[in-house]
Amino acid sequence: MNEFLELTLSGLSLGTIYALIAMGFVLVFKATGVVNFAHGSILLIGAYAAARLQGDLGFWPAVAIGAAIAALAATLLDVLIMRRVRTSEPTTLAILTLGIDIVLATELIRRIGSSILTSGAPWGSEVVRIGNVVIPEARIAAGIVAVIIIAAFGVAFRFTDWGVAMRAAAADGRTAALMGIRLNRVAAGAWALAGALATIAGVFFTSFPSPGVDNATGLSALAAIPAAVIGGLDSLAGALVGGIIIGLVATYTAGYQGDLAFLGRGLSDVAPYTVMLIVLLFRPSGLFGEQKVTRV
Amino acid sequence: MRGLRATYGDAGDALAGVDLTVPDGAVVAVLGNNGAGKSTLLRAISGTLPLEGGRITGGAIHFRDRDLAGADPTAIVRAGLVQVPEGRRIFADLTVDENLRAGALAVRDKAAKAQARARVFELFPQLKDRTGQKGGLLSGGEQQMLAIGRALMSRPTLLLLDEPSLGLAPRIVEQIGEIIGEINREGTAIVLVEQNAAMALRIADEAYVLETGAVTLSGRAADLAGSEEVRDRYLGIGGETESATATGTGDATDPAAVPAAPRRSGALASGAPATRRATPLALVAEGITVRFGGIVALSDVSLQIDPGSTHAIIGPNGAGKSTALNVLTGVYTPTAGSVRYGDTTLGGLRPHRIAAVGISRTFQNLALSAEATVERNLLVGRHRLTSSGYLTTAFGLRRARRELAAQREAVREVAALVGLEDDLHVLVHTLPYGARKRVELARALCAEPDVLLLDEPVAGMNARESAAMSQTIAEVRATLGLTVVLVEHDMAFVMALADRISVLNFGERIADGPPTEVQRDPAVLEAYLGAAQPDTPDDAPQAGA
């Protein structure tokens, strides 16, 4: 029972991290219609920069600068590359982001090499005991920070002019343009925000119990893509729910790996995708996704 | 606006030199059929053409002292020129309040925003009680009010309205018309694009008629409302001369004058069996009702389409014509009522099953594979008549090759029938619009249907192309013995071709009979021009409400 509680809490925490990544993914998709497979590399840029800088600057300034660098990188991708081909087919755009991802990931992995860069988070490997339940401090911090960011984001999305512009542009870009909303600016803003969210998620993702940023970080962050897909790709609430589902599933399958040995090793890497397939079988547009209706 | 030209991709000019002047504080109506270039005109003015893959290729848009051609949409909104898009396009998931805020995002001045907001609530008191409600839950009329209100939030000096009456009940249209007048009295100039000529001409000072990307008629609105030409264009009354050419057998008209007219192929002229002669049955729809959410698109509509006849379904925009066609082809399942073809009940059959029964259709907006040749597109139409599977075709077995050769021959015959035999190996996207419409017709014929449903076959064509198309359809029908069901706006075309006409308005059948009867029917005149009987009691259902 204790084990189950521990796993649930740490799954929820991991889930909120996935949710941050998935929200960035969804944000870009809603604002520009691009399924951004380079999101993992953008996360890696931010997390890598933060890990490199934390020794000199301290943890929080490093995270802030890392987030700014990732936001800038994502914005540049949008302005220099994606904007020029905005009217292309969605599939073409997705394949383009795959290419960008390969280029970015290759360079980052070359820089990281075989080293493991610690995130330098102040909570290190401390744990908190509540009764018999043991939780790493890092997980608690991740959960709290993620929940605060998601809530702030939700409020901004709902009540600010920026939020209204963003939602209007996502709902119907052509009409939003007619109202004088600058679609290019909304798009660049979405990419930048996605980059910043990914960095914050990336920093927690590479904090304890994970050893740090290594050359596989971008790849494991990709599990946020099934989270976004489960949620429906165009729903921020869906990204949150999808993230938590994936976090729980990944943690349970890793925690109970001993009991699930008959399914083979490395189950927790595969499980998110399995869940995604099962959800899509029954809900092709995801849990919260908009049903596409075509009029002839 | 001077000599404005615009194009989408390389599809030729969607606007070919349009001149239009809007005096300060005036209401100018732009009339025209589907595909005439009205929407392109508005997109060009509001700077949103690039979003649709189009661009302005010539001419200028002067607004006050600025040239707005090619400016970005935000700059144009800031300059005081705002468009209310066709179909309202309110943000359904945003609240009424948020919709209004979205309209004011280009404005920085807080006081101006508050003032604009107060003004909107003054014009539309209904909206004030519903600020927290989601836009999508408003009725059609309220959505139109919200769309106009949203545009007014940036305090425009020129308001562009695209089809504000579309799909709304007459009483609501009346109300919208009054509000437009009210907005105008405050000093805002208005460009009103409408298919509802009655409403537009009543409130406009000046009017332009647009046809295939060019202004064909312009003048004071009152003069146009009384003009023969406008009556002719919208009702086909007095269009005897045009009808004559449309149905002409070709010996009276110089063939060179009708460039797109079909040339008879050798096979046909020599009497060789071209394509199978059709054996159509009666197509009967009884008491069809279709609801989308709370909107009733069709209400208890019955249609009796006799075998071998040409039956037209007409009505103003939003009357339910396309819905009717979609029910006949099984795209929509009606909420109530049944569709029978001969003894077969079509209700609930999947579209491909309906195709197999012998009913084939074309689409209002072209649905062709643009990057493939005409022949390839037509072969798709043969699909239901082929038997080779993936493997036999992939391995190029003899049976598959023989079948392909036979299909190619059949396709060639159909192409000859509609005058496309020389274009078989041309890529579809290189063809002009009129020819693409023919490709759609040919593809539908390739399925060897008994019943051919045509959704606006001459939309966007000029009078000459339309006459040629009319001739082709008449010939095809005579040669193959088909039943033809037409949905069309071009009245001259319909009057010339149809044996029987059903008129829909707001989802109800308001008239049914031979063309001569229908075009004199007071209810039809009322629906189209609103001028015949101004005092008709307003008992129409509120389809859009």
User: Hey, what's the torsion of the CAs at A70, A75, A81, A86, to 10 degrees?
Assistant: 130
- Which one, of B460, B417, B459, lies nearest residue B439 by Cα? B417
Q: Which residues pair with B485 in a beta bridge?
A: B311, B453
Note the pLDDT tens digit of each residue in B52-68.
777 787 778 888 778 88
Note the pLDDT tens digit of each residue in B407-436.
888 888 888 888 888 888 888 877 777 788
- Contact call for B94 and A179, based on CB within 8 A: no
Helix, strand or coil, per DSSP, at residue B90: coil
Residues from chain A that touch B46, judged by Cβ atoms under 8 A, are 178
Residue B532 pLDDT more than 60? Answer: no
Structure-token pair, residue B387 = 């038997």
Residue B488 has phi, psi (to 5 degrees) of: -155, 150
Residue A192 has phi, psi (to 5 degrees) of: -60, -45
Do B501 and B514 contact (CB within 8 A), yes or no?
A: yes
Task: Specify the pLDDT at position B540.
Answer: 40
Q: How far apart are CA B2 and CA B17, in angstroms?
A: 7
Would you give the distance in Å from CA B490 to the centre of its chain? 10
Strands B451-455 and B359-361: parallel
Q: CB burial class (10 A; 0-12, 13-18, 19+) of residue B313?
A: buried
Interface of A with B in 146-175 (CB under 8 A): 161, 164-165, 167-168, 171-175
Task: Specify the pLDDT at position B139.
Answer: 80
Task: Specify the pLDDT at position B6.
Answer: 62
Q: How far apart are CA B160 and CA B22, in angstroms?
A: 11
Task: Specify the pLDDT at position B41.
Answer: 86
Burial B458-493 (b: 16+ CB within 10 A, else e): bbbbebbbbbbbbbbbbbbbeebebbbbbbbbbbbb
Residue B259 pLDDT more than 50? Answer: no
Q: How confident is the model at residue A79 (pLDDT cuts 50, 70, 90)?
A: very high
Query: In this predicted structure, which of A21-30, A184-193, B176-185, B345-354 has the lowest mean pLDDT?
Result: B345-354
Note the pLDDT tens digit of each residue in B287-316.
888 887 667 788 888 888 888 889 999 887
Which residue of chain A has the CA closest to B151? A179
Residue B165 pLDDT more than 70? Answer: yes
Helix, strand or coil, per DSSP, at residue B430: helix
Task: Specify the pLDDT at position B241.
Answer: 36
Average pLDDT over residues A24-30: 91
Average pLDDT over residues A211-238: 85
Which range, B57-66, B97-106, B488-497, has the best average confidence (pLDDT)?
B97-106
Task: Specify the pLDDT at position A188.
Answer: 95
**Element at B402 (helix H, strand E):** helix B398-418
Q: Complex ipTM, two decimals?
A: 0.82
Helix, strand or coil, per DSSP, at residue B17: strand
User: Hey, what's the torsion of the CAs at B245, B248, B252, B258, to 10 degrees?
Assistant: 60
Task: Specify the pLDDT at position B83.
Answer: 92
Residues from chain B that touch A293, judged by Cβ atoms under 8 A, are none
Task: Specify the pLDDT at position A270.
Answer: 87
Q: How far apart are CA A67 and CA A192, in angstroms?
A: 9
Task: Specify the pLDDT at position B534.
Answer: 39
Answer positive or negative: Cα dihedral of A87, A88, A94, A98.
negative
Query: In this predicted structure, which of A160-169, A246-255, A256-265, B241-250 has the lowest mean pLDDT?
Result: B241-250
Mean pLDDT, rounded, of chain A: 88
DSSP letters for chain A = -HHHHHHHHHHHHHHHHHHHHHHHHHHHHHHH----TTHHHHHHHHHHHHHHHHHHH-HHHHHHHHHHHHHHHHHHIIIIIGGGGTTS-HHHHHHHHHHHHHHHHHHHHHHHTT--B----TTTT-EEEETTEEEEHHHHHHHHHHHHHHHHHHHHHHHSHHHHHHHHHHH-HHHHHHTT--HHHHHHHHHHHHHHHHHHHHHHHTSTTS--B-TTHHHHHTTHHHHHHHHTSS-HHHHHHHHHHHHHHHHHHHHTTTTTGGG-S-HHHHHHHHHHHHHHHH-TT-SSPPPP----
Task: Specify the pLDDT at position B277.
Answer: 67
Residue A70 has phi, psi (to 5 degrees) of: -65, -40
Residue B216 has phi, psi (to 5 degrees) of: -105, -15
Task: Specify the pLDDT at position A291.
Answer: 57
Share of chain A above pLDDT 90, in %: 49
Q: How far apart are CA B153 and CA A78, in angstroms?
A: 30
Q: How confident is the model at residue B220 (pLDDT cuts 50, 70, 90)?
A: confident
Strands B66-67 and B508-513: unpaired
Average pLDDT over residues A240-254: 92
Q: How confident is the model at residue A100 (pLDDT cuts 50, 70, 90)?
A: very high
Q: How far apart are CA B81 and CA B46, in angstroms?
A: 7
Q: How far is CA B545 from CA A295, B16, B38, B167, in A?
A: 21, 38, 26, 9
Q: How far apart are the first and last CA of chain B?
A: 36
User: Count of residues for chain A?
Assistant: 296
Residue B4 pLDDT more than 70? Answer: no
Q: How far apart are CA A202 and CA A206, in angstroms?
A: 6
Average pLDDT over residues B149-162: 92
For residue A128, give how far its alpha carbon lies from the nearest alpha carbon of chain B (Å).
Answer: 43
Q: How confident is the model at residue B269 (pLDDT cuts 50, 70, 90)?
A: very low
Query: In this predicted structure, which of A28-32, B218-222, B393-397, B437-441 has the lowest mean pLDDT?
Result: B393-397
Q: How far is CA B254 from CA B258, B261, B263, B442, in A?
A: 7, 11, 13, 25
Residue B264 pLDDT more than 50? Answer: no
Which range, A254-258, B48-52, B431-435, has the best average confidence (pLDDT)?
A254-258
> What type of residue is B222?
A
Question: Could you tell me if B74 lies within 8 Å of chain A, comparing CB atoms?
Answer: yes
- Contact call for A178 and B73, based on CB within 8 A: yes
Average pLDDT over residues B14-26: 82
Task: Specify the pLDDT at position B238.
Answer: 39
Residue B381 pLDDT more than 60? Answer: yes
Which residue of chain B has the CA closest to A162? B105
Q: How far apart are CA B467 and CA A97, in angstroms?
A: 50
Residue B272 pLDDT more than 70? Answer: no
Helix, strand or coil, per DSSP, at residue B339: strand
Residue B243 pLDDT more than 50? Answer: no
Q: How confident is the model at residue A61 (pLDDT cuts 50, 70, 90)?
A: very high
User: Count of residues for chain B?
Assistant: 545
Strands B214-220 and B344-345: unpaired
Interface of B with A in 338-377 (CB under 8 A): 363, 367
Q: How confident is the model at residue B542 (pLDDT cuts 50, 70, 90)?
A: very low
Q: How confident is the model at residue B529 (pLDDT cuts 50, 70, 90)?
A: low
Residues from chain A that touch B98, judged by Cβ atoms under 8 A, are 164, 167-168
Query: In this predicted structure, which of B163-177, B269-283, B434-448 has the lowest mean pLDDT?
Result: B269-283
Structure-model confidence comparison of residues A172 and B384, the more confident one: A172
Task: Specify the pLDDT at position B249.
Answer: 37
- For A296, the closest of B89, B150, B331 (CB atoms) is B331
Average pLDDT over residues A147-153: 91
Question: Could you tell me if B252 lies within 8 Å of chain A, comparing CB atoms?
Answer: no
Residues from chain A that touch B73, judged by Cβ atoms under 8 A, are 177-178, 180
Structure-token pair, residue A18 = 């996935």
Structure-model confidence comparison of residues B242 and B140, the more confident one: B140
Matching residue, tokens 């991290």: A17
Q: How far is CA B100 from CA A228, B140, B427, in A?
A: 30, 17, 46
Q: How far apart are CA A102 and CA B152, in angstroms?
A: 48
For residue A296, give how far its alpha carbon lies from the nearest alpha carbon of chain B (Å).
Answer: 7
Q: How far apart are CA B283 and CA B328, in angstroms?
A: 9
Task: Specify the pLDDT at position B56.
Answer: 80
Burial B415-427 (b: 16+ CB within 10 A, else e): bbbbbbbebbeee
Do B298 and B509 contact (CB within 8 A), yes or no?
A: no
For residue A160, give how far its alpha carbon lies from the nearest alpha carbon of chain B (Å).
Answer: 10
Q: How many CB atoms lie within 10 A of CB B33?
A: 24
- Contact call for A178 and B83, based on CB within 8 A: yes
Residue A108 has phi, psi (to 5 degrees) of: -65, -40
- Contact call for B91 and A182, based on CB within 8 A: no
Q: How far apart are CA A79 and CA A212, in angstroms?
A: 31
Residues from chain B that touch A183, judged by Cβ atoms under 8 A, are 51
Residues from chain A that touch B154, judged by Cβ atoms under 8 A, are 179-180
Do A194 and A177 contact (CB within 8 A), yes or no?
A: no
Interface of A with B in 177-196 (CB under 8 A): 177-183
Spell out where B54-96 has E strands: 54-60, 62-63, 66-67, 81-84
Average pLDDT over residues B462-477: 84
Task: Specify the pLDDT at position B8.
Answer: 58
Matching residue, tokens 């030199």: B17
Residue B196 pLDDT more than 90? Answer: no
Task: Specify the pLDDT at position B49.
Answer: 82
Strands B500-505 and B508-513: antiparallel
